Amino acid sequence: MNEAQARSWIRDRFGVSRETVLQRYGELLLAEAPIQNLISASTLDSIWSRHFVDSAQLVPLAGDAPSGMWLDVGSGAGLPGIVAAILQDRPVALCEPRARRAEFLAAVVRELNLEARVSVQMSKAEAYRPDEPVAIISARAVSELSQLLRSAAHCADLSTIWLLPKGRSAQSEVDAARGKWQGTFHVEPSITQPESGIVIARGVRPR
């Protein structure tokens, strides 16, 4: 998928107005990326295909989630959390412990006029306490699956959908996690990199 195809993929599924907001986010991301090393330098020319579509594909996977908040753990550059906030209408919490990255996320939220729905939590997932169990938890390139489930399980209940891009290690991480965690785990191939997988988990609870 090239950049033109990626933009078309977004436009066809989410509309021109949301594509326009995503374009502005891209400008902010490219301006800040060299300062904080937010994304790999090798992907600066392919943010739509490598980052935006990679994040946006999670939105339809969350289609049957209950009402409630989308929690993005270790948001970093805002991937997938900012993209999810732009492309759907539920509230989003961006959990990011590094101060400079949290400041960048807060600036993006202000610039894109997302303050009514999006909050930036400068903390690790372990320290974040939502008012009620969240509907969706996402995390991209954060930690090994068992550790990730342990760090955010207190934010979830059995109805929470976990959407976790895990690369080529997705299935092996699921196999390892099943020793400590119960639930329904499915690995969905990524549309941007078919050899990579997205772990979709429901009913997650410790054994």
What are the C-alpha distances in Å from 88 to residues 92, 101, 114, 120, 160?
A: 10, 23, 11, 17, 17
Distance CA 21, CA 82 (A): 11
In whole angstroms, give the CA distance from residue 3 to residue 71: 28
Residues 6+ apart with CB under 8 A from 157: 133
Retrieve residue 69's tokens.
């908040």
Please indicate if the annotation marks 125 as binding a ligand.
yes
- Please indicate if the annotation marks 79 as binding a ligand: yes
**140 is known to lie in a ligand binding site:** yes
Q: Residues annotated in the binding site for S-adenosyl-L-methionine, as ranges? A: 74, 79, 125-126, 140
Q: Residues annotated in the binding site, as ranges? A: 74, 79, 125-126, 140
